Structure 1
Amino acid sequence: MKIMVVDDEEIIVALLAEYLKEMGFEDVTTAASGEEALEVIAAQDSPFDCFLLDVKMGGMDGIDLCSRIREMPEYWIAPIIMITSAAAKQHMHEAFDAGATDYMMKPIEHIDLRVRIQIAMLLVETLKSEAESRSALKAALRTSPKAGQFDPSMRITYSDVPNMRDYFQLENRLLRLSEGTYAMTLLSIEIDGIEKLGARLGQGDFLDIVEAVANIIGKTLPARGASLSYVGFGKFVCLVVVRNHIVPNLLQARIRDAFGAFEAAHDILSPGELELKVAALSSKRMLAPDVAIGLIRRFVGSLGSSENMTLPPISKVQEGIFRRSSGAKNKVE
């Protein structure tokens, strides 16, 4: 695995490089600043597999660097693990908004580093598998719109849609929040009528409509603190972690207006043939992460999706990885 470590403290860089070497990762590249990291990334012939970024650095900080990395198509799902001190932990919400996968606290512990990388790579392997399946489907639809049987339960993620995340990434964001309660809004958004429409339209048109709605929702949600996932059957899940309350009726009115313009510009749809419906998954303004995950999983599970597999609780993942890590560590020593 090819790893990049970015930190402006030489002792931290040296410690991480040594730990990674002990874990069997020989291909480690380091940088002392965000600016240097971008230059190194641009010069690579093959992409990095994982990034470890310090949150607080002089010049470009780790959050800005994370955002810049996420803008590169080849790093859309690469694991990015932020390194933070207790004083800088308050900035982790911004880091997750920028696309961070996980974080770990200073001082760095060997076993914690091992677990974070292993969990990130398990997540990314799942995302890669799903991405490959979607790419294959899109290719088939382009060459023959009638080829194969289209599955309406399929989850789709568009990397260029603002705020859009794979469903596993949305769950991971909640799983990585520390204990406590947060001001958050959980919403479902449904393209009412799309399943009936799927029988009349070509499969490519179906995907075009889903992408158009995703773009409308993504641009309507707050620029910071929002995550949007398409979970199949014409339905989206939205997580918004901000103090300001999102009023479902107002959001529904705004996205309906924008979708009306899309309908008018595409003769494949009759006016009013589809309707966008927004509903709150909880009336509470303050929620704990585990409660929010339970509400989202209950909604997704009710759809009967063939892809309703969810991420296991982090504690269960860690237990398995700790067992594997301990065995691997003993071998190294």
Structure 2
Amino acid sequence: MRLLAVDDDPVVLDLLKLIFKSADLPEVSVTSSAVLALEMLSNPDFEFDGLILDISMPEMSGIELCRLVRRMPRYQHKPILMLTSVMDTASVESAFAAGADDYITKPFDVKDIVARVRVAERMTQKSQPVAMIDRDLCKETDKPGLHQFSIEDPLRIHGAPQLIQPFALGNYLCQLSRRRLDNCVLFAVQLCDIDTLYQTCKTHELARGLHGVVTAVSEVVKCPTMLTAYEGSGILMCITLGSEPPAWPEMEYRVRDAIAAQNLCRDDGTKMCLEVAVGNPITPSASRYQRVNKTFERTRSRVHTRMQSTHAQSEAEADDDDGQISSA
């Protein structure tokens, strides 16, 4: 695994090289210039397996560099770790939104560096990168229900606001300090009829519907530091930091209204059924041990319970309507 580290501080670069060598980590190349880093990444004869980028750099921030790197086809799926100072944690969410997968806080501990690089190694060893779908990418060969991914697969949705990969969302939650955890809330949004949408939509139509759901959640919550991830099976995982989401279940009603206002349709003009359930928000587990798995599982359980309740209520209302018709 070949890594490129970019930081304008030569002391940090020297320290990284020393840590990598002493900890038997993968080979690391270094540069103090974001512009030079872009030139190195553009070399067609050499390809890095991952990057470490300092967030605060004078000529170009690490966030902007991350955004430009993600536009390079060869680096769309490579792990990107950000370096940030303890006083600049507010930039972390922006870095993730730009395409980062993880971060390390300076001054860093050797154990932290080793742990996060090992996580990046595991990411590169994954056999299949998360697929990207685009609502504007219509192919003549597209057929309803025929997709290059399964219904359970996580997805990246081109242009969807505040959406990152589930792997990155887990890293973000894992790295939150105890102080920041106190201001953190999670909730999940479930597309109730994802099976029908998957079976009857073309890929770009499914992207259109999912993009609409993510956009509606972003508009309703109105939290600039919110991060979301589509983890498959119609579930959108959401984390807000620093501001409470709207009261529940009012939030669910407002998200439904925001989706309906978009009037999302298939190519033939038929309206998409995009009913959603929103789980009651929770606070994450404080313990770092299995924080991600336990917190995400609780969040899924909340939205699953909500969806069952919504389904039962819909069936009861339908039975009442049938009874009234019969009486008439």
TM-score calculated relative to the size of structure 2: 0.69
**CA gap 1:175/1:159 in 2 versus in 1, 3 angstroms:** farther
Q: SS of the counterpart of 1:256?
A: helix
Q: Deviations over 1:28-60 (max 9, x none)?
A: 432213333234333454442211222333333
Other-structure match for 1:155: 154
RMSD: 4.2
Question: Which has the higher mean CA deviation after the structures are superposed, 239-248 or 117-126?
Answer: 239-248
Other-structure match for 1:230: 230
What percent of counterpart residues are identical? Answer: 24
AA aligned to 2:157 is Y
- Alignment map for 1:1-333 (pairs within 5 Å): 1-21=1-21, 23=24, 25-26=26-27, 28-89=28-89, 91-106=91-106, 110-126=110-126, 129-131=128-130, 142=141, 145=144, 151-180=150-179, 181-196=181-196, 201-202=200-201, 204=203, 207-208=206-207, 210-214=209-213, 216-217=215-216, 220=219, 222=222, 224-247=224-247, 249-250=250-251, 252-253=253-254, 256-263=257-264, 266-267=267-268, 269-270=270-271, 273-282=273-282, 288=286, 294-300=294-300
Q: SS of the counterpart of 1:243?
A: coil
Q: SS of the counterpart of 1:40?
A: helix
1:104·1:113 contact (CA, 8 Å) conserved in 2? yes
AA aligned to 1:262 is N
**CA gap 1:46/1:7 in 2 versus in 1, 3 angstroms:** same
**CA gap 1:40/1:236 in 2 versus in 1, 3 angstroms:** same
Return the alpha-carbon distance in structure 2 between the equivalents of residues 158 and 115 of structure 1.
29
Once the two structures are TM-superposed, the CA of residue 81 in structure 1 deviates from its matched residue by 2.2
Other-structure match for 1:327: none
Other-structure match for 1:329: none
Once the two structures are TM-superposed, the CA of residue 20 in structure 1 deviates from its matched residue by 3.3
Provide structure 1 residue ranges, at least 5 long, that are not aligned to the other structure. Answer: 305-333
Return the alpha-carbon distance in structure 2 between the equivalents of residues 268 and 38 of structure 1.
44
**CA gap 1:151/1:301 in 2 versus in 1, 3 angstroms:** farther
2:279·2:299 contact (CA, 8 Å) conserved in 1? no
2:188·2:278 contact (CA, 8 Å) conserved in 1? yes
**Number of equivalences:** 296
Return the alpha-carbon distance in structure 1 between the equivalents of residues 184 and 303 of structure 2.
23
Once the two structures are TM-superposed, the CA of residue 3 in structure 1 deviates from its matched residue by 1.5
**CA gap 1:36/1:207 in 2 versus in 1, 3 angstroms:** same
Once the two structures are TM-superposed, the CA of residue 175 in structure 1 deviates from its matched residue by 0.7
TM-score calculated relative to the size of structure 1: 0.68
